[in-house]
Structure 1
Amino acid sequence: MDLAEIPVLSLDADRADLPARIGESFRTFGFAMIRDHGIDPALIERAWQLTGEFFALPVETKQKYFIPGQGGARGYTPFRTEVAKGASEKDLKEFWHVGRDVPANSPLAASMPPNVWPTEIPGFRETFTQLYAQFDEAGAKVLSAIAIDLGLDAHWFDPAIDDGNSVMRLLHYPPVGEGSGGAIRAGAHEDINLITLLLGAQEAGLELLGKDGRWLSIAPPEGAIVVNIGDMLQRLTNHVLPSTTHRVRNPEGERAGHARYSMPFFLHLRSDFPFVTLPECVSESNPDRYPETITADDYLQERLREIGLKM
């Protein structure tokens, strides 16, 4: 398996030329790697520990936190529920979602239900509330660099993601045993949101589909996060920034007996954000693919139905 030669960029040391370098990485791969991202390593370590404790709970206990009808927006989603768009086999994973809490009287409350928290794991709520906030901050910095690269004001995305419907996912891929059939840990897909910030890609398995049709493995150094473009940003930029197909393949040999954990933060727009293609991304050679306006939440609901999380 060939390695994707994605440069590792620093949110601090590379500040001056970060917009150009991150833009080049996204245009080439749809992915970037970021170090010095500001997320507390001790907090990350604690989050991994609590994630392992939660997924080790009995299935009956975890099932208490499954909320039918919410499309997995909050709480627990059972093993083999989600399916990649167009795939026939459901993914070999289970996950937990933490979202943004908004006041009950907020106009966004209908699309952003309150969080639920497992009472069996002490410190779970406090730890993941802090981690969510630090992901949020790091994501805003990455979007600022993207804005500058696109010829926009550095703060262009600030109102678009204010009270955004971002979701932090705690992912557990159990050991791969007999009887998985043609299923893999995560089928080939593109993310729905603006950008995804990922912790936990150090365990092998994450791969992106290169422009030449080859699968390339992604191997970030210790302490770096992987960032990729989602379909919402691809749409907003008229495909100037591509949403790249990726997957998590099954391990082989001795690694097949090991679980895999990861934590993606799906950074979303405000639910009421209207998609209007950025004029900076429209040209004679790249005409507007999306002349019709749709809200971010309408787009999200459509995609959740496609991946089996909503009926």
Structure 2
Amino acid sequence: MWNDFRVPTVDIGPYVADVPDAAACAGVAAQLDRACQEVGFVQIVGHGIPERTIDDLAAALDAFFALPLETKKGYRRGPAENRGYAPPKSESLSMSLGVPSASTMNDFYEAITVGTEASAFPGLDLPETSYARNTWPEAVPSFRPAVEEYFLRAQGLSRVLVRAFADALGLPPGYFDGLVDHSIEVLKMNNYALPESEIRVVDELTGMGAHTDFGIVTVLWADQVPGLQVLGADSRWHDVQPCDGALLINLGDAMARWTNGRWRSTIHRVDPPIVGGRIQRRRSAAFFFDGNHDAVIETLSGCLADGESGYPPITIAENIASKLAGMKSGVAPVGLREAERVLAADTH
């Protein structure tokens, strides 16, 4: 264990090389295994996503979130559809763990979400609930091409990471391929700022409540602005900011369940970045690589000790649905180990 909490940096260049070097990849896999056991968050460099692609994504976010609130609300979808625009204070991520925040729907970020549609897999009969149609903001013509380019890059990176994860866990090459060949993939783009009339801080606010991610792995681009905090093994919250050129990677529930907790689905939150009594603007884009909707999450045999039963089996779609119900509708899931960790954490 590292003496002081830190998110380790791993260069995954050997895995994205045109001709991967087996020995170099083995070294990367060992670093990932250690980081996934001890922190559950990793900074990756050498990821291969061009800086221009990320700059275009950031510009697209700026253009969309600069629209009038009423215009943005025109792209809102129902709570059962994880697509479209979500205004400030319309969600509570801590409720995805069954942990209420100061008020039921208190997360002050706004977001727009897109994802893989069922039409991307014409040979499969996939449920609209997991592979919903996107709502693209026509008011910003540059938004869709910039977001689709970043989405494609993050999608490819996620598949590289899953290949590295199989190596890190000592599994056969391609072990996860059949569990991700029609993966649910979602890009949630966030803006941490209230409308001008509400920007002075007068009440207790939550930027984004304490939560774990729902799927296999999350690829996070974020501003180098304070706010993101990770709950460490010491039950204390630690500030995390990406270094230059890095993307933050964290594990989700599926990977923690598959490994019976050997790898951590780390609890994290966003505290309001406040400067001089006012909220400092912060942006992020989280690409969630969740796995096939019908893939069953059950503990890998190599991660069970004698007599251990592991997590009860659940499909990717069932796990996501229970978490989204809490986040969007306030219907709390019950019996989650992660909820106990949040409730036991130091509140500061």
Distance (whole Å) between structure 1 residues aligned to residue 135 and residue 327 of structure 2: 23
Query: Could you list the per-position Cα deviations for residues 73-95 of structure 1 after superposition, in whole angstroms to 9, with x for gaps in the alignment?
Result: 11111111111121233211010
Q: How much does 1:289 deviate? A: 2.1
**CA deviation profile, 1:184-223 (whole Å, cap 9, x unmatched):** 2112211112111100152111111111122111122111
Which has the higher mean CA deviation after the structures are superposed, 134-143 or 121-130? 121-130
Determine whether 1:159 maps to 2:159. no
Is 1:66 the equivalent of 2:76? yes
Distance 1:265 1:227 in 2: 10
Write the distance in 2 (CA, Å) between the matches of 1:96 and 1:216: 27
Contact 1:238 / 1:288 at 8 angstroms: preserved in 2?
no
CA–CA separation in structure 1 for the residues paired with 2:204 and 2:153: 37
How far does the alpha carbon of each residue in 1:241-298 deviate from its partner, in whole angstroms, 9 at most, with x for none? 111111111223348442110011111111111222211111127x1322x4322111
SS at structure 2 position matched to 1:165: strand
- Other structure's SS at 1:122 match: coil
Q: TM-score, normalised by structure 1?
A: 0.92
Aligned to 1:298: 318
Contact 1:33/1:226 (<8 A) preserved:
yes
Matching residue of 1:289: 310
**1:114-163 C-alpha deviation (Å, 9 max, x unpaired):** 11211111222111111111101111111111111111123112221112
Equivalent residues in 2 for 1:174-253 (5 A)? Answer: 174=193, 177-179=199-201, 181-253=203-275
Structure 2 equivalent of residue 108 of structure 1: 126
CA distance in structure 2 between the partners assigned to 1:269 and 1:255 by the alignment: 41
Aligned residue runs from structure 1 range 266-281, under 5 A? 266-281=288-303
Contact 1:3 1:216 in 2 (8 A): no
Percent identity between matched residues is 29
**Displacement of 1:69:** 3.9
Consecutive unaligned residues of structure 2, counting only runs of 5 or more, are 15-23, 332-348
Q: Which residue of 2 aligns with 1:92?
A: 108
What residue ranges of structure 1 are gaps of 5+ in the alignment?
A: none
Distance in 2 between residues matched to 1:181 and 1:77, nearest whole Å: 21
Match of 1:149 among 164, 168, 175: 168
State the 1:106 CA deviation: 3.4
Q: Distance in 1 between matches of 2:172 and 2:254?
A: 19
1:307 aligns with 2:327: yes
CA RMSD in angstroms comes to 2.1
Change in 2 beyond 3 A, CA 1:193/1:310:
farther
